[in-house]
Amino acid sequence: MFLMNAAQLQSYYDQTPTARRMALVSIGLVMIICSLGLSAVNIAVPRIADDLQVGANAVSWIPVAMLWGNVVFLLPMGRLADIVGRKRMFITGIVLFVMASLAILVPQTIESLLLIRVVQGISSSMVYGTSMALIGVIYANSNRGQALGIGASSVYFGLTLGPLVGGWLTEHWGWQSVFWAPTLVLLPCLVVLVIYVKGEWKAEHKTKFDWQGSLIFMAWVSAFMLGLSRLSDWRFALVAVGGLLLLGVFVWHQGQKTSPLLNLSALRANRIFNRSLLSAFFIYGSSFSMVFLLSLYLQYIHQLSPSEAGQIVLIQTLIMMVLAPITGRLSDRYEPRLLSTFGCLLFVIGYAMLFGLGMQTSLHYVMVALVFLGLGFGFFSSPNNNAAIGSVPADKLSIAAALLNLARTMGNMVSSAIVMTLFSVTMGGAAITAPLYPQLLLVIQITMGLSVGYALIAAVFSYRRGRIH
């Protein structure tokens, strides 16, 4: 099976529905666990802060550290996967993620914990940079939109299931279990991948990997992210400006290379793909900090337990899980831009409601806002991914999938950096206590107001991508 050419390999999957389904299940589970690893820790942040005796400014780096590892390596890993093989990169990412997560069993300091989060981010970049590409080729001739919808649901199911699982594990097994326990799911996934996912996918023509471009890309993202984390400090603001200058260097460098990390001219020419990326950037920029901040709001201001807060946040994911495969299948027949734009407008309603949160806001009000956000995710994610993946050639699927995930994680990163700046300005390094609850609420309200604007911008880009049917 491993020696099959591209046509024979595609024929195998077209004629073997069991292989397709098992591949989708295993890839989906891996994506759930990696996404869960990103968000489950958010709900454990208060316990980690107490255990390690660190303040709000230090623990705000816990979600950002994994994001950094993810963002700076996504594009290089996606390009490298097209060269060395997408399945190989995917499996390597799983193994590295397991090893990093089990390192939590060693006694931790805040510094070692952040290092573990960085390695989790690097390994998850290998998974995210190849997962949607693998689903896209395996289901190329059979309900690709629906399969991509399930893949998208896996990511966001993991992200939002994280607080519920993280809360339960934190209460019953300690916050360290949030790291090691979910990895037990990954071992059966490895077995299924070896048995059912036959063959390998990579570019037919050998190309050189752009190491210089990769290093410049990592440098500008790192500098920009570090600078954004404390924009109130002029020195950090200068670092952010330096990051933007390095972005200019990266763009210039890519234009000079015959085998660039990112073909910018092709990206500019593909209107459907670049508008899909832009709408994804703004939607996911609006959503990531919402889970983190809402978890803090429910635990501190409403005095809910971690598991109770996780159950409420889960509402949006349950709705999205039901909708995403349905809208993915609809996007195979109808214009994705109409479905995803409608999803963006539902986001606007949900964030506008969360902008109105107060000290005495009822939990029912919060739940209704989460219903709108779940509907927004359900209508946006699958059609947007299907439009993007369907607009690129087969030999560029890994880099396309990496760019989609990069748009999501860059949005997450910018959103997290803004929240870190708000925390720094309003609370400094102090722990979150009752006297600081008004400042916490102010951070939430400002962030939700910005999210309304992000979702409106995403709606414009989504609608203006053009027709694909």
Domain ranges of the chain: 6-200+259-463, 210-258
CA distance 120 to 66: 6
Residues 6+ apart with CB under 8 A from 77: 89, 93, 125, 126, 129, 130, 402
Helices (H) and strands (E) counted in the chain, each on its own, are 18, 0
The three-point CA angle 440-441-442 to 5° equals 90
**Torsion from C-alpha of 307, 310, 312, 318, nearest 10 degrees:** -120
pLDDT, residue 394, reads 65
Residue 281 in contact with residue 407, Cβ under 8 Å?
A: yes
**Torsion from C-alpha of 227, 228, 233, 235, nearest 10 degrees:** 20
- pLDDT higher at 354 or 198: 354
Average pLDDT on 65-91 reads 86
Share of residues in the chain with pLDDT > 90 (%): 23
Average pLDDT on 216-226 reads 87
Name the burial class of residue 399, with classes exposed (0-12), middle (13-18) and buried (19+) by CB atoms within 10 angstroms of its CB. buried
DSSP conformation class of 38? H
What does pTM read for this prediction? 0.75
Helix (H) or strand (E) holding 116: helix 110-138
Q: Above 60 in pLDDT, residue 1?
A: no
pLDDT range class, residue 462, cuts 50, 70, 90 = very high
What one-letter code names the amino acid at 416?
S
pLDDT, residue 139, reads 82
Q: Above 70 in pLDDT, residue 117?
A: yes
Residue 112 in contact with residue 142, Cβ under 8 Å?
A: no
Residue 32 in contact with residue 158, Cβ under 8 Å?
A: yes
Average pLDDT on 115-136 reads 88
The three-point CA angle 350-314-32 to 5° equals 115
What one-letter code names the amino acid at 314?
L
197: left (phi over 0), alpha (psi -120 to 50) or beta: beta
Share of residues in the chain with pLDDT > 70 (%): 94
CA distance 100 to 305: 28
Regarding the domain delimited by 6-200+259-463, which CATH topology (the fold level of the hierarchy) does it fall under?
Answer: Growth Hormone; Chain: A; (1.20.1250)
Q: Above 50 in pLDDT, residue 227?
A: yes
* Residue pLDDT, tens place only, 101-116: 998 888 778 888 889 9
What one-letter code names the amino acid at 87?
K
DSSP conformation class of 303? -
* Residue pLDDT, tens place only, 239-257: 989 999 999 999 999 888 8
Structure tokens at 237: 């603001």
Q: Above 70 in pLDDT, residue 469?
A: no
> Can you give the C-alpha Rg of the chain in angstroms?
21
pLDDT range class, residue 2, cuts 50, 70, 90 = very low
pLDDT, residue 4, reads 66
Residues 6+ apart with CB under 8 A from 236: 226, 227, 228, 229, 230
- Tokens 């594009």 found at: 75
Count of alpha carbons within 13 Å of 44, Cβ hemisphere only? 28
- Within 10 Å of residue 410's Cβ, how many Cβ atoms? 23
Distances (CA, A) of 329 to 24, 148, 297: 15, 9, 36
Q: Above 50 in pLDDT, residue 441?
A: yes
Average pLDDT value over all residues in the chain: 84
pLDDT, residue 353, reads 95
CA distance 55 to 48: 10
* Residue pLDDT, tens place only, 381-420: 888 888 887 787 766 766 777 788 788 878 877 887 788 7
Name which of 191-205, 316-330, 432-446 the model is least confident about. Answer: 191-205
CA distance 306 to 326: 31
CA distance 378 to 340: 9
- Tokens 């109770």 found at: 308
pLDDT, residue 229, reads 67
Average pLDDT on 340-369 reads 94
Question: Reduced to 3 states, what is the DSSP secondary structure of residue 450?
Answer: helix
Residues 6+ apart with CB under 8 A from 392: 270, 273, 400
CA distance 173 to 163: 15
- pLDDT higher at 431 or 291: 291
